[in-house]
Structure 1
Amino acid sequence: MNKLKVGMIGLAHTHGESFLKALERNPHAEIAGISDENKAYAEPFDRMYPYFEDYRELLRTDIEAVFICSENIRHAPLTLAAAKARKHVFCEKPLGVSKEDMQAMVEACKENGVQLMTAFTNRYSQAVVQAKEVIDSGGIGKVLAVKCTNKGGLPRRDWFTDRRLSGGGAMLDHSVHVIDILNWILRSRVVQVYAESGTLFHDIPIDDMGMIHFKYANGVVGVLDTSWSRVKAFPMKRDLTLEFIGTGGTIAVDVRNMINEVYSNSAGSAAWSDWSDNLSELIVADFVDCILTGRPVPITGDDGMNSAVVALAAYESSRLGKPVDLP
């Protein structure tokens, strides 16, 4: 199998480093260059790979695909530029910060004959995959409701709390992963959202918590706790849980539960050592294989848009103080 020549545009998102390391370990990928207008984000990788101060110069090379891990607000212009250059795109979540931007991204990639994949790593968790298999087989009957959480600590990069760069706070950052999993498993779409958001845990100019209630077209109702509420001393920075309640049973999924408890005098508190699959490696390997073999990517730009529009509706509901219908 040939190697896929890839470039990395933007390392502002903390996931960017994990995707870059996954590409380094992938025998079918070749990192041909990286670019970020803020060179501090590119360190130390700018000394390991060709560094392009201007991402357009990187797009003019013979790379076949790009990984976009920039600030959220830049996902759309970078994807549009990559599509115009006929490069396949792997884009960090959320796909965009407006429905119009995301529609333009999806359409540009289709028009230029390139694939667009959204970086929803949690679809590769065995806990999620096996829950889907049980639900698909009718193991808990008809799903009636879901209860979910996606809580984490305050992101270490300041741009997350700058709405001009992020497009939203915790409610956008932490809802899209869960909504994508639900869309995938329930095979339906959210038609109504009611949400409350606020800033309760940190002195920041953006929301750090949200409670989202939603209803699917197939009748399933649910609630999602999405926040940056975990303190520094917590053993693991984040969680992701889902409980599916059906007519014939329930399934409780804890994506981060594959851990060892670690106690050490050198640490300030207890720690959890994660021994689960490396989800970044799995999703990167799948994207690389799809592009090399011509197989359609499993998590499309449409999937990215269908999760992000729920978060955008949640902000609108919180602002209005009433439920919002999704067309």
Structure 2
Amino acid sequence: MDKVRLGIIGSGFISNLHVNSLQRLPEAEVVAVASPTPGKARAFADEHGIPDAYESYEAILKRDDIDAITVGVPNDLHEEVVVAAAQAGKHVLCDKPLARSLPEGERMMAAVHAAGVKLVYGEMLCFAPKYVRAKKLIQEGALGKVFLVKQNEEHDGPHSPWFWDVNRSGGGALLDMGCHSIEFARWILDRPQVRSVQATMGRFMHPEKTRAEDHSIVVIEFENDVIAIAENSWAKTGGLDDRCEIYGTLGNTRADLVQGVGLRTHSKVGYGYAVEKAGSTVGWSFTGFEEEWTHGFPQEMQHFVNVVLGREEPMETGEDGLEVLRIIYAAYQSAGEGRRIEWPYTPPDVEKPVDLWLNA
């Protein structure tokens, strides 16, 4: 095999990023897209020059000429799609979070292992060029012994209505965006064992839209005496904020994926995709430049293609996605019960992670 032929499952925001990134790669060919909304897959295909469009993802999985899929569907559908893809022998990139709950994620991984296919967990921050350079600074010894990692990913609300429904999403800002911050910390520190998790959260801006939290702060203590702080929000106005800080005994570094590269812009009407979000770029904003590259999506897709071609092993695995979910469970339980959660940790049996906060 010298080229990977791919199907795209989903036609929303994240699938646009997947397709735009894959179409940069000479070893990748996107041949089909599936979306259940009548007409949406065809419109998506026409926009991106994709030959075939379906209203059922099963139609893609039945095709022998498709090697792999990317999954960009609501959280409550991840298990269904990934299990079906594995059983059809397709390699999978599943966008974050891995699943709506730990049991769903565990069933997904069982299906992948049974089928012998590859699954890459879709965490693009580990491919973002600035963050990759920050990790190299640590490896080069420029910062000494790292003792604190902070990562923030925040904005004023998700881009699709299903995120607000906890039965579909499984949680709020912590599950949606905290998964980025938590895995960033694990990755940049070479995935040390967790010692404890403590969190606080609240519903401040969107009580009429969701039962979930719209702002969360999580403190993770690792066994190598490093603290990670993950702050995530659906309640921060002014557009996307995505940045990190790393403190060591010999120095520190910080990286900003949005404001550090954006064009300082003022507009009375707003622009781009954000216009659909109630004009969130009205006034002053940081206009993104090469946003997909800056956030690591083409690099992530190149890695996925390399995995399918047998050139690399997954850098972000389903097991990483499961560990992120476990930490998220602990954070919800910590915020609900007002106490530190120690490791080793077995999460309580709940339908969805946010229940550990909502039901406390």
TM-score of the aligned structures, taking structure 1 as reference length = 0.91
Report deviation, 1:304. 1.8
Q: How far is the alpha carbon of 1:185 from its aligned partner?
A: 1.5
The 5 Å alignment of 1:287-306 reads 287-306=304-323
Aligned to 2:209: 204
Aligned-partner SS, 2:236? coil
Q: Which runs of 5+ in 1 are unaligned?
A: none
Contact 1:7 1:67 (C-alpha < 8 Å) held by counterparts: yes
Query: 2:31 is paired with a residue of what secondary structure?
Result: strand
Moved more, 156-165 or 216-225: 216-225
My pick for the range that moved more, 139-148 or 275-284, is 275-284
Q: Kindly report structure 1 stretches of 4+ aligned residues shifted beyond 6 Å.
A: none
Aligned counterparts of 2:69 and 2:151: Cα–Cα separation in 1: 32
3-state secondary structure, aligned to 1:27: coil
Classify the secondary structure of the residue corresponding to 1:2: coil
Deviates more, 1:58-67 or 1:311-320: 311-320
> How do 1:207-246 residues align onto structure 2 when only pairs under 5 Å count?
207-231=213-237, 234=238, 237-246=239-248
Runs of at least 5 residues in structure 2 that lack an aligned partner in the other structure = 271-281, 345-360
* Superimposed CA distance per residue, residues 89-139 of structure 1 (whole angstroms, 9 cap, x where no aligned partner): 000100112222222222321221211011111112221111111111222
Is the 1:171–1:311 Cα contact (8 Å) retained in structure 2?
A: yes
Q: Deviations for 1:199-230, whole angstroms, at most 9, x for unmatched residues?
A: 10123222111111111121212322111123
Instruction: Judge which range, 62-71 or 180-189, deviates more.
Output: 180-189
1:1-327 correspondence runs (5 A)? 2-12=2-12, 14-39=13-38, 42=41, 44-47=43-46, 48-62=50-64, 63-187=66-190, 188-202=192-206, 203-205=208-210, 206-231=212-237, 234=238, 237-256=239-258, 257-264=260-267, 267=270, 268-276=282-290, 277-278=293-294, 279-327=296-344
CA distance in 1 between partners of 2:331 and 2:72 (Å)? 24
Deviates more, 1:65-74 or 1:200-209: 200-209
**Partners of 1:40 and 1:99 in 2: CA distance:** 34
Give deviations 1:36-92, integer Å, cap 9, x for gaps.
223465362144442222222221102110110000111112111111111000001
Q: Is the 8 A contact 2:179 2:324 kept in 1?
A: yes
What residue number does 2:347 align with?
none
Match of 2:328, as an amino acid?
Answer: A
CA RMSD of aligned residues (A): 2.0
Does the 8 Å CA contact 1:196/1:210 hold for their aligned counterparts? yes
Distance 1:138 1:24, change over 3 A: closer
Task: State how far apart, in whole Å, the 1-side matches of 2:155 and 2:343 are.
Answer: 27
Deviation at 1:35, TM superposition (A): 1.4
How much does 1:162 deviate?
Answer: 0.5
Paired with 1:40 and 1:238, the residues of 2 have a C-alpha distance of: 30
| Partner SS for 1:253 | strand
Within 1, Cα distance between the matches of 2:38 and 2:236? Answer: 30
Question: Contact 2:166–2:172 (CA<8 Å) still a contact in 1?
Answer: yes
Give the SS at the match of 2:100: coil
Q: May I ask how many residue pairs the two structures share in their alignment?
A: 322
> Which AA in structure 2 matches 1:2?
D
Residue 145 of structure 1: how far off its partner (Å): 1.9
The answer to which of 136-145 and 88-97 deviates more is 136-145
CA contact (8 A) 1:263 1:269 kept: yes
Relative to structure 1, the CA distance from residue 153 to residue 42 in structure 2 (aligned partners, 3 Å threshold; closer, same or farther) is: farther
Determine if contact 2:11/2:44 at 8 Å carries over to the other structure. no
Measure the CA separation in 2 of the matches of 1:222 and 1:18.
Answer: 28
Equivalent-residue separation in structure 1 for 2:53 and 2:216 (angstroms): 38
